[in-house]
Structure 1
Amino acid sequence: MKALIETIVRPLVDYPEHIVVTEEENEHKIRYHLSVHENDVGKVIGKNGRIAKAIRTVVYAAGSDVKKKVYLDIM
């Protein structure tokens, strides 16, 4: 899933070397934290959060085969 998130975000940013995806898992959920360069945050979030919502939709759909709830935080 980390590779999927990086693959989606990489073309959107100017500083792809600053993409960091971390995973935090417990018994009921998996939470991914996406961190990008401060100049790229707006590009990843998009106007009115549309790009962030689209990224989350893809990630949630890809995680639907997992029995745990999947979350994506963008920082």
Structure 2
Amino acid sequence: MHIMVDYKEALANIARAIVDKPEEVRVTEKENTSAAITLELSVAPDDMGKVIGKHGRIAQAIRQIMRTASAGGKRIIVDIR
């Protein structure tokens, strides 16, 4: 059984759960090749620290979740801006 994942929506939902201003969360697909998808995550400037976390731990966790979601499929690269 193969489950289709909307990577953009999954990333947006994760970010909205973390930030204070979920209405300002934007995810855009920047590059899509046969091997990888690059997703750009934009949040309000005040929320940037929440998404990155202390020593980048939250950002690292978000990237790991997205890698796990794409296991066996395309590589997902998350660019936080």
Q: With structure 1 as the length reference, what TM-score do the two structures score? A: 0.90
Q: Which runs of 4+ in 1 moved over 6 A?
A: none
State the Cα deviation string for residues 22-45 of structure 1 (Å, max 9, x = none). Answer: 112023321010000011000000
1:50 is matched with: 57
1:70 is matched with: 76
Task: Provide the aligned length of Structure 1 versus Structure 2.
Answer: 74
- Alpha-carbon distance, 1:14 to partner: 1.0
Which structure ranks higher in relative contact order (CA pairs < 8 Å, sequence separation ≥ 6)?
Answer: 1
Identity of aligned residues (%): 45
- Alpha-carbon distance, 1:13 to partner: 0.7
Long gaps (5+) in structure 1: none
- Alpha-carbon distance, 1:53 to partner: 0.5
Q: Tell me which of 11, 20, 36 is aligned to 1:14.
A: 20
Q: With structure 2 as the length reference, what TM-score do the two structures score? A: 0.84
